[in-house]
């Protein structure tokens, strides 16, 4: 890393500590004191240090100005900002003229704005008082002058600073200062983004208790988890970014236990498999290929679920991504690795025996995650378009209401299969058709421009796999515009259908189902997936 040629590397002689999160500050302050560093500090931080017999000078004493306006003005003073921003060797004379002493190390973390506004009863006034002004001003000033000054915004970096000062006679290298300055700018960018989002959704259009869903500007901070070897194709560059706190049980919070480096497509497909398998309560297995489930099943055990999911489409399962909703056991792992080529296996907390089984296949990527909460918090979906970004709430709902629209009611097993197939169809790219029986997919038709063709493909797949469709059910992610979808389903042996309804020709479609003796359910909710 490089920075400005005009930099200094003087030992730290004066530090300013001003922190809301006081984790580790006493240990750091004690260390700095033993190194002979003079400590300046704001009210609460100074009191904590003094209470622990660490010599400290209050900022108000240093500036000759009291803290005022309930803490709105504490460090906003030329003696502080001149001490931070002064270029050593360039501004020495003006600093001396105005009695401004160098401040070499700034340790600041900000008022907890995010935690404050997350409280359901947070008022606008409370939010406003938790907008830190003096802190970010010092953070940005120090980061700007990193050629001479060190800024630390995260207690996790305290040990690193201590170790370096100890080894280098009180000095902190330019490389470290630059790295910490970048972290500082990232920190203030994230902080200001949260404030802009808060005001953009609660004041512009909404209220503190009833925010609008989409703020006026969309400020999102993502942290790079890893660079990827390439993107969707080898000539594209790519990286994987994650939210600061990704939800439990998400691909972004998963841990890779073994195997080759994850690729861009691996991550996208694993996400698709994982989010689909989360739909099921009982032991379930989802096999995904090119973002679509090619086999899904529920079983009495994970092994049974896998065996049945595999049967749907063994051809497509080759090189697939396999997701489970229970800890992977050794028996299931053994069956997978001895039978098929698999890119990724993901499951909550695989057992040590399962990990040992997969270890025999060095290339197989095995991912583990924490068990997820029953109701994961809904988040937002994004889609990039040229010159813009489409933002929507995630498709977390399943159906509006289930209403039988035909003369024949579905039998209990049909009803069960209809609900199973509907859950799968939600995760199949549109137009989606899913044939299923006994909690197992028999054929999946995905991503066709015509629904009739998706149905044809689903039937071809079932035939190829030697799976009979007689007595099976069909799920369709969107309504049937014409009766041909039902007539064709009847020809292959489908006995019950689940679909949103809502077509202009619903009655024609219902009549077809009645004529064919098919039971049909409307869900009142469509699940397009592009």
Ligand X SMILES: NC(=O)c1ncn([C@@H]2O[C@H](COP(=O)(O)O)[C@@H](O)[C@H]2O)c1NC=O
Should residue 42 be labelled a site residue for ligand X when binding is judged by CB under 6 A? yes
Q: Which stretch binds ligand X (CB under 6 A): 36-44, 155-163, 263-271, 298-306?
A: 36-44
Q: How many residues does the chain have?
A: 530
Contact 366, 350 (CB under 8 A): yes
Q: Judged by CB under 6 A, which of 11, 24, 43, 493 binds ligand X?
A: 43
Residue 200 is a binding residue for ligand X (CB under 6 A): no
Give the separation between CA 168 and CA 264, rounded to whole angstroms.
42
| Cβ atoms of 190 and 153 closer than 8 Å | no
Q: How many helices (H) and strands (E) does the chain have?
A: 19, 21
**Residue span binding ligand X (CB under 6 A) among the ranges 133-141, 234-242, 299-307, 390-398:** 133-141
Question: In the window 57-76, what residues touch ligand X (CB under 6 A)?
Answer: 71-76
Burial class (CB in 10 A: 0-12, 13-18, 19+), 388: exposed
134 lies in the binding site for ligand X (CB under 6 A): yes
* Residue nearer to ligand X on the CB measure, 23 or 411: 23
User: Looking at beta carbons only, is 74 or 148 nearer to ligand X?
Assistant: 74
CB of 220 to ligand X, least distance (A): 23
**DSSP calls for 248-284:** TTSGGG-EEEESSPPPHHHHHHHHHHHHHHTT-SSSE
Instruction: Tell whether residue 228 is a contact of ligand X (CB under 6 A).
Output: no
What is the C-alpha to C-alpha distance for residues 418 and 434, in angstroms, rounded to an integer? 10
Calculate Rg over the CA atoms of the chain. Answer: 30
**358, 337 contact by CB (below 8 A):** yes
CB of 72 to ligand X, least distance (A): 5
Residues numbered 381 to 440 that lie near ligand X (CB under 6 A) are none
Give the footprint of ligand X on residues 262-281 (CB under 6 A): none
Residue among 38, 132, 157, 313 that touches ligand X (CB under 6 A): 132
Under the criterion CB under 6 A, does residue 83 sit at the interface with ligand X?
A: no
Q: Among residues 71 and 246, whose Cβ is nearest to ligand X? A: 71
Count of residues in contact with ligand X, rule CB under 6 A: 21
The angle formed by the CA atoms of residues 299, 304 and 310, to the nearest 5 degrees, is 105
**Closer residue to ligand X (CB): 129 or 508:** 129
Element at 151 (helix H, strand E) = strand 150-152
Annotated catalytic residues are 144, 290
| Beta carbon nearer to ligand X, 19 or 342 | 19
Examine residue 19 and tell whether it contacts ligand X (CB under 6 A): yes
Q: Extract the tokens encoding 512.
A: 């077809």
* Smallest gap from residue 137 Cβ to ligand X (A): 7
Shortest distance in whole angstroms from residue 291 CB to ligand X: 45
**Interface with ligand X includes 111 (CB under 6 A)?**
yes
Q: How far is the CB of 275 from ligand X (least distance, A)?
A: 38
CB nearer ligand X, residue 29 or residue 291: 29
Q: What is the nearest approach in angstroms of ligand X to the Cβ of residue 20?
A: 4
Sign (positive or negative) of CA dihedral 384, 385, 389, 395: negative
Helical packing angle, 25-34 and 158-167, nearest 10°: 10
CA–CA separation, 172 vs 290, rounded Å? 49
Q: What is the smallest separation between the CB atom of 244 and ligand X, expressed in angstroms?
A: 18
Among 44, 155, 206, 481, binds ligand X (CB under 6 A): 44
What gap in Å lies between CA 141 and CA 181, rounded to an integer? 10
Question: Parallel, antiparallel, or unpaired: how do β-strands 105-109 and 150-152 relate?
Answer: parallel
Interface residues with ligand X (CB under 6 A) are 18-20, 42-45, 71-76, 108-111, 132-135
């Amino acid at each position: 890393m490089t920075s400005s040629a005009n930099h200094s590397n003087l030992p730290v002689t004066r530090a300013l500590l001003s922190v809301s999160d006081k984790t580790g500050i006493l240990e750091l302050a004690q260390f700095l004191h033993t190194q002979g560093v003079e400590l300046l500090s704001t009210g609460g931080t100074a009191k904590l240090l003094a209470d622990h017999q660490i010599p400290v000078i209050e900022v108000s004493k240093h500036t000759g100005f009291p803290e005022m306006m309930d803490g709105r003005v504490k460090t906003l003073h030329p003696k502080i900002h001149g001490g931070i921003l002064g270029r050593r060797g360039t501004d020495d004379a003006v600093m001396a003229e105005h009695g401004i002493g160098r401040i070499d190390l700034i340790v600041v973390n900000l008022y907890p704005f995010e935690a404050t506004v997350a409280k359901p009863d947070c008022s606008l006034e409370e939010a406003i008082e938790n907008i830190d002004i003096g802190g970010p001003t010092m953070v940005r000033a120090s980061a700007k002058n990193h050629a001479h000054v060190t800024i630390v915004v995260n207690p996790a970096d305290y040990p690193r600073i201590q170790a370096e000062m100890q080894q280098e006679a009180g000095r902190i290298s330019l490389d470290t200062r630059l790295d910490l300055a970048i972290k500082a700018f990232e920190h203030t960018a994230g902080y200001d983004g949260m404030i802009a989002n808060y005001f953009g959704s609660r004041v512009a259009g909404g209220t503190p208790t009833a925010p609008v869903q989409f703020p006026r500007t969309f400020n999102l901070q993502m942290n790079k988890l890893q660079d990827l070897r390439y993107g969707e194709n080898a000539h594209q560059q790519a990286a994987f970014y994650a939210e600061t706190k990704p939800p439990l049980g998400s691909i972004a919070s998963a841990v890779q236990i073994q195997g080759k480096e994850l690729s861009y497509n691996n991550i996208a497909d694993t996400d698709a498999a994982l989010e689909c398998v989360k739909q099921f309560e009982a032991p379930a297995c989802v096999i995904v290929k090119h973002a679509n489930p090619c086999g899904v099943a529920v079983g009495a055990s994970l092994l049974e679920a896998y065996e049945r999911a595999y049967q749907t489409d063994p051809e497509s399962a080759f090189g697939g991504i396999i997701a489970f909703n229970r800890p992977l056991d050794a028996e299931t792992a053994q069956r997978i690795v001895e039978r098929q080529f698999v890119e990724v296996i993901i499951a909550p907390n695989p057992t040590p025996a399962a990990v040992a089984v997969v270890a025999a296949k060095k290339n197989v990527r095995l991912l583990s995650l924490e068990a997820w909460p029953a109701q994961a918090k809904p988040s937002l979906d994004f889609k990039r378009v040229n010159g813009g970004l489409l933002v929507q709430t995630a498709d977390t709902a399943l159906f509006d209401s289930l209403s039988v629209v035909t003369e024949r009611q579905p039998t209990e097993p049909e009803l069960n299969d209809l609900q199973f197939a509907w859950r799968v169809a939600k995760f199949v790219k549109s137009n989606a058709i899913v044939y299923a029986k006994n909690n197992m997919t028999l054929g999946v038709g995905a991503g066709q421009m015509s629904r009739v063709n998706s149905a044809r493909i689903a039937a071809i797949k079932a035939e190829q796999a030697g799976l009979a469709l007689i007595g099976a059910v069909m799920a369709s992610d969107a309504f049937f515009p014409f009766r041909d979808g039902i007539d064709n389903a009847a020809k292959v042996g489908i006995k019950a259908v689940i679909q949103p309804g809502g077509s202009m020709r619903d009655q024609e479609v219902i009549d077809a189902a009645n004529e064919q003796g098919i039971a049909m359910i409307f869900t009142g909710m469509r699940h397009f997936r592009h």
